[in-house]
Amino acid sequence: MADERETTRWITEMGMGVDVHGNDYTKAARRAVSDALRHSSLNFFRATNKTVHDMHVEVRIGVQKPDEVDLDAVAEEVPYGTVTINTQVGGLDVPAEPSDDRPASDGIVIANAAILVSFTD
């Protein structure tokens, strides 16, 4: 049975990731999560009697084609906590300029990530 106790959000971090060649939504999403995590240093565990294992980490990814994101691969970017990944339409696609030496699959994918960290009350 799932824990139905209330949680309180403590942290919100944002990041952006880009796949410059290949239209890879998962690669862009992973980079967005990594970018957001690099902006964080969590120093409140001792004061709150919490550990990294108490964290509920919700990752929201915005890309133009949410169904093309490998959720398990994105979750691997988060080192701690109980992780949930959600995708939605967002981000930006920049198509490749047509040319003889550049395939159409060489477009740019930009993903946005929001990481929301909560703890059970």
Q: What is the CATH number of the domain that holds 113?
A: 3.30.1330.20
Compute the distance between CA of residue 25 and CA of residue 73 in angstroms, rounded to an integer. 11
Host domain of residue 93: 7-38+52-120
Most confident by average pLDDT, 6-10, 61-65, 106-110:
61-65
DSSP letter (8 states) at residue 24: -
Q: At residue 3, does pLDDT exceed 70?
A: no
Q: How far does CA 88 lie from the centroid of its chain? A: 11
Percentage of the chain exceeding pLDDT 90: 64
Do the domain assignments include residue 25? yes
pLDDT digits (tens, 9 = 90+) for 34-54: 999 987 877 788 888 888 899
Do the domain assignments include residue 33? yes
Do the domain assignments include residue 13? yes
Query: What is the pTM for the complete model shown?
Result: 0.86
pLDDT, averaged across the chain:
89
Compute the distance between CA of residue 77 and CA of residue 88 in angstroms, rounded to an integer. 18
Total tally of structural domains belonging to the chain: 1
pLDDT for the residue 28: 97
Do the domain assignments include residue 18? yes
Q: At residue 101, does pLDDT exceed 80?
A: no
Closest-CA residue to 85 (of 16, 30, 45, 44)? 30
Is 85 within 8 Å of 108 (Cβ atoms)?
A: no
Do the domain assignments include residue 16? yes
Do the domain assignments include residue 43? no
- Residue 73's identity, in one-letter code, is A
Do the domain assignments include residue 47? no
Q: 95 by DSSP, 3-state: which? A: coil
pLDDT for the residue 100: 61
